[in-house]
């Protein structure tokens, strides 16, 4: 989810900011903000493939969010952040399914559609994942549209559907011409796409 608003260039600064915000918020009652920061840190370390640090924040984040959900059992957002932490974990992602399905029953939300798509993708159900990412792209809140498109592009690329993958990246760049994640994805598509023979 972090890819919505940062680029690789400032990833380390974003992590530092999040860690500082988490430290400073311990004395304040900023439950939702802390849950979100844990979710963002797990996503950031997942993106950087720093599994040891990610695992530490997965464990801390899940403890924190479980405590907050006990205090606020109807909090949709706390549950959504918990689902994101789970889906980004190396060994707990498969436990996210029931939580995600419960959130889907509560409301239509583009962020949950993305999590459902990512869950299906982790299960190896790429075509099912595409359906959820497409649904996320069309749903509200619209702030997740670029993230849905990025997930769509990655999945289409993995399916060998390079033209669709490339179109998704072009759509991201219409939303944000400076999106580094889309630009990096385009490089991967061009690298993996088989060269067509000229006649």
Domains in the chain: boundaries: 9-107, 109-193
Fold match flag (9-107 vs 109-193)? yes
In whole angstroms, what is the distance from residue 155 CA to residue 178 CA?
Answer: 22
Q: Are 54 and 38 in contact (CB under 8 A)?
A: no
The CATH class, in words, for 9-107 is mainly alpha
In the CATH scheme, what architecture does the domain 109-193 have? Answer: Alpha Horseshoe (1.25)
Q: Are 2 and 44 in contact (CB under 8 A)?
A: yes
Start-to-end CA span in the chain (Å):
43
Q: CA angle 76-82-88, nearest 5°? A: 135
Q: What is the mean pLDDT of residues 184-197?
A: 86
Q: What is the mean pLDDT of residues 166-170?
A: 97
Number of helices (H), then strands (E), in the chain: 10, 0
Q: What is the mean pLDDT of residues 134-143?
A: 91
Q: What is the mean pLDDT of residues 51-72?
A: 96
| pLDDT for 6 beyond 90 | no
In whole angstroms, what is the distance from residue 116 CA to residue 136 CA?
Answer: 10
Q: How confident is the model at residue 17 (pLDDT cuts 50, 70, 90)?
A: confident
């Amino acid at each position: 989810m972090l890819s919505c608003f940062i680029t690789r260039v400032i990833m380390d600064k974003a992590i530092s900011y999040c860690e500082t915000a988490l430290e400073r918020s311990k004395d304040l009652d900023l439950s939702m903000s802390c849950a979100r920061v844990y979710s963002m840190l797990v996503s950031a370390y997942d993106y950087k493939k720093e599994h040891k640090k990610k695992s530490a924040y997965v464990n801390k984040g899940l403890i924190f969010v479980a405590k907050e959900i006990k205090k606020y059992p109807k909090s949709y957002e706390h549950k959504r952040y918990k689902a994101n932490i789970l889906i980004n974990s190396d060994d707990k992602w498969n436990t996210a399914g029931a939580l995600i399905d419960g959130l889907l029953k509560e409301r239509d939300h583009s962020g949950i559609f993305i999590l459902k798509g990512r869950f299906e993708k982790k299960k190896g159900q790429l075509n099912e994942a595409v359906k959820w990412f497409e649904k996320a792209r069309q749903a509200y809140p619209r702030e997740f549209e670029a993230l849905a498109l990025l997930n769509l592009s990655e999945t289409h690329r993995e399916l060998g559907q390079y033209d669709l993958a490339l179109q998704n990246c072009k759509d991201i760049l219409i939303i944000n011409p400076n999106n580094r994640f889309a630009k990096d994805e385009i490089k991967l598509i061009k690298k993996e796409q088989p060269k067509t023979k000229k006649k």
